[in-house]
Structure 1
Amino acid sequence: MTNTTDRFHLRAGRAASGPYALDIRPESAGWDHSSLRVLELPPGGSHTMATGGSEWIVLPLSGGCTVEAEGTRLRLHGRESVFTAVSDFAYVPRDAELRLSSAAGGRFALTGARCTRRLPVRYGAAEDVPVELRGSGQCSRQVNNFAAAGVFEADKLIAVEVLTPGGNWSSYPPHKHDEHREGAESELEEIYYYEIAPHGTTEGVGYQRVTPSGHGGGTDVLAEVRGGDAVLIPDGWHGPSMAAPGHDMYYLNVMAGPGVDRAWLICDHPDHAWIRGTWADTPVDPRLPLYEAKESAKSAQARGGSQEGQGER
């Protein structure tokens, strides 16, 4: 049986619940591990949640906030938007209470994964986030590896940000990670959450493709995505993620799976893997990077350090 676009493309507002503009839980997604919530707070607003059996990372999408958990208080400088800077973030373990507040208001992603180990509350600095330029030519994109495996410690959660200049393709060649093959491929459920840069008053769009891999449920998606949309990928070859010309595209990837090792091991689609061999002969898109982590940190220091309550970065 093929899983269709309508089931796995969550248009903005479709998966809203209570205080969350987007609320994806294992129960609603029909899988076992990955979660994503997007919380919008007004100036002076706050929100408290129990982490339950999942570990969480609070990532500002716009604005800054304060995160309190386990007797620790972390101030996140945040950023003006996902298109202007790398953000700092906070990790909160399972079986805890998390309180998030914002003097100026903002939008905050809560990326989660069911887990076993209980790690300490920690702060992730923006200047420590590795910014990677991946691909070349029209396959060029920027990856902010804030919670990639091997970069920031977690039990199960893997999360990164990808920025694609208008007209470029990301998640290409198409790849999959829907079965465990020792040293070759990880089994990971994945969420894509999108924001699209407008051009003046014109709303932007992007496109996401997922095709059946022959392993798992046969997910088949061709979606026109807009800001606030999400796509669930329980299995299948995913990619390309296409940014329409004139509109840069952002997506947040949230991944988790049952593997003992926390690793992102992928298998390229055999029909398209050859494209990687062309990258060495083609320059990276000169529009990249859109920004760099170290520059963002220096900029924050120049404005007096903390920006929580200022809503810009």
Structure 2
Amino acid sequence: MSDHDEQKRYLPAGSTADGPYTLRIDPEQAGWGHSGLRVLELEPGGSHSLAAGDSEWIVLPLSGGCTVHTQGETFELRGRESVFSGVSDFVYVPRDAHAQIASGAGGRFALAGAKCERRLPARYGPAPEVPLELRGSGNCSRQVNNFAAADTFACDRLIAVEVLTPGGNWSSYPPHKHDEHRPGIESELEEIYYFEIDRGGMGYHRVSPSRPGGTDVLAEVRTGDAVLIPDGWHGPSIAAPGRDMYYLNVMAGPGATREWLISDHPDHGWIRDTWPEQPVDPRLPLYKAEEGQQ
């Protein structure tokens, strides 16, 4: 893949800013069919009107809280101080709806979206009900907040989770892919990684080709950066020592079934067999589901 193609997959902070959005990735811009992500920044007392169009959306506070008014209902999101302080509550906004997002104290809010067919009801997702998973072990340990995983919260196509990796650990490892439809084995999903690094640090993210001419990225990532993954073996995401890494994964695809099925890289999948012999990193969980709310 050319340097130009790599630049289109790695999006530095601010490179896709658009009005109130510090990051805006719509399917048309990404060059695929479903997944989208916007990061909305509101000043104290600010508000924003979201037209859902043909996509379903989840409003997820990254920092601060907000009020979401949609479909004749008003949802109060307590939010959190930062992505490193706790799990946040969230709101689902259906396709063909309008939502008004307002914040008295201001904040930053991820809008994770996916083009879809079904129109589901608007709903509130309480923070204490978000399933927390400790995945891997040893220096591959990480925490996954499965707030909108395929089996935890009903959406039509959207799948979204948060991953927190303690400083010095490897995440999204072993490298894996989900770019082919193979029933019961692998699902075809477009994926966005959005990064935040604790206290201004940096990390590294790798995507290697799974097919001739496929996605090939090695990027130093910092807060506000994103990586687009239409195909390819993705991982590792490496957190620098002393700097925890956060990333938001947003996924959707054309399959009739909403599911997350992955294939490990054949050269690296063996690492999973070593995990039962090692303890989970004692720094995990970084926080529990009820922590971090305003």
* 1:208 aligned onto 2:209: no
Residue 305 (structure 1) aligns with: none
Residue 54 (structure 1) aligns with: 55
Q: What amino acid does structure 2 have at the position aligned with 1:54?
A: S
Residue 87 (structure 2) aligns with: 86
Residue 265 (structure 2) aligns with: 269
Residues in 2 aligned to 1:94 and 1:150: alpha-carbon distance in whole angstroms: 20
Contact kept in structure 2, 1:12 and 1:229, CA below 8 Å: yes
* 1:5 aligned onto 2:6: yes
Alignment of 1:138-149 (within 5 A): 138-149=139-150
Instruction: Mark the runs of 5 or more structure 1 residues left unpaired by the alignment.
Output: 301-312
Q: For residue 267 of structure 2, give the secondary structure of its aligned residue in structure 1.
A: coil
Q: For residue 270 of structure 1, give the secondary structure of its aligned residue in structure 2.
A: coil
Residues in 2 aligned to 1:234 and 1:132: alpha-carbon distance in whole angstroms: 25
User: TM-score under structure 2 normalisation?
Assistant: 0.98
Residue 282 (structure 1) aligns with: 278
- Alignment root-mean-square deviation, CA: 1.1
Residue 15 (structure 2) aligns with: 14
Residues in 1 aligned to 2:122 and 2:15: alpha-carbon distance in whole angstroms: 32
Q: For residue 138 of structure 1, give the secondary structure of its aligned residue in structure 2.
A: helix
Residue 174 (structure 1) aligns with: 175
Q: What amino acid does structure 2 have at the position aligned with 1:212?
A: P
Q: For residue 266 of structure 2, give the secondary structure of its aligned residue in structure 1.
A: coil
Offset of residue 88 of structure 1? 0.2
Residues in 2 aligned to 1:256 and 1:72: alpha-carbon distance in whole angstroms: 27
Instruction: Mark the runs of 5 or more structure 2 residues left unpaired by the alignment.
Output: none
Residue 216 (structure 2) aligns with: 220
Contact kept in structure 2, 1:82 and 1:250, CA below 8 Å: yes
Residues in 1 aligned to 2:144 and 2:28: alpha-carbon distance in whole angstroms: 29
Residues in 2 aligned to 1:50 and 1:248: alpha-carbon distance in whole angstroms: 34
Residues in 2 aligned to 1:12 and 1:62: alpha-carbon distance in whole angstroms: 17
Residues in 1 aligned to 2:77 and 2:279: alpha-carbon distance in whole angstroms: 35
Offset of residue 246 of structure 1? 0.7
Contact kept in structure 2, 1:5 and 1:223, CA below 8 Å: no
Residues in 1 aligned to 2:17 and 2:28: alpha-carbon distance in whole angstroms: 14
Cα-to-partner distance string for 1:174-233 (whole Å, 9 max, x where unaligned)? 0000010000000000000000001xxxx2001000000017x50000000000000000
Offset of residue 117 of structure 1? 0.2
Offset of residue 5 of structure 1? 2.5
Q: What amino acid does structure 2 have at the position aligned with 1:77?
A: R
Q: What amino acid does structure 2 have at the position aligned with 1:152?
A: F
Q: Which runs of 4+ in 1 moved over 3 A?
A: 1-4
Residue 304 (structure 1) aligns with: none
Residues in 2 aligned to 1:4 and 1:269: alpha-carbon distance in whole angstroms: 23
Offset of residue 7 of structure 1? 1.6
* 1:256 aligned onto 2:248: no
Aligned pair partner of 1:230 in 208, 226, 229: 226
Residues in 2 aligned to 1:185 and 1:99: alpha-carbon distance in whole angstroms: 37
Residues in 2 aligned to 1:80 and 1:4: alpha-carbon distance in whole angstroms: 36
Q: For residue 277 of structure 1, give the secondary structure of its aligned residue in structure 2.
A: helix
Identity of aligned residues (%): 72
* 1:241 aligned onto 2:210: no
Q: For residue 279 of structure 1, give the secondary structure of its aligned residue in structure 2.
A: helix
Q: What amino acid does structure 2 have at the position aligned with 1:20?
A: Y
Residues in 1 aligned to 2:244 and 2:152: alpha-carbon distance in whole angstroms: 26
Residues in 2 aligned to 1:7 and 1:45: alpha-carbon distance in whole angstroms: 31
Q: What amino acid does structure 2 have at the position aligned with 1:269?
A: H
Residues in 1 aligned to 2:288 and 2:98: alpha-carbon distance in whole angstroms: 33
Q: For residue 187 of structure 2, give the secondary structure of its aligned residue in structure 1.
A: strand
Residues in 2 aligned to 1:129 and 1:19: alpha-carbon distance in whole angstroms: 28
Residues in 1 aligned to 2:105 and 2:268: alpha-carbon distance in whole angstroms: 46
Residues in 2 aligned to 1:283 and 1:219: alpha-carbon distance in whole angstroms: 34
Offset of residue 55 of structure 1? 0.1
Residue 27 (structure 1) aligns with: 28
Q: What amino acid does structure 1 have at the position aligned with 2:288?
A: E
User: TM-score under structure 1 normalisation?
Assistant: 0.92
Offset of residue 18 of structure 1? 1.5
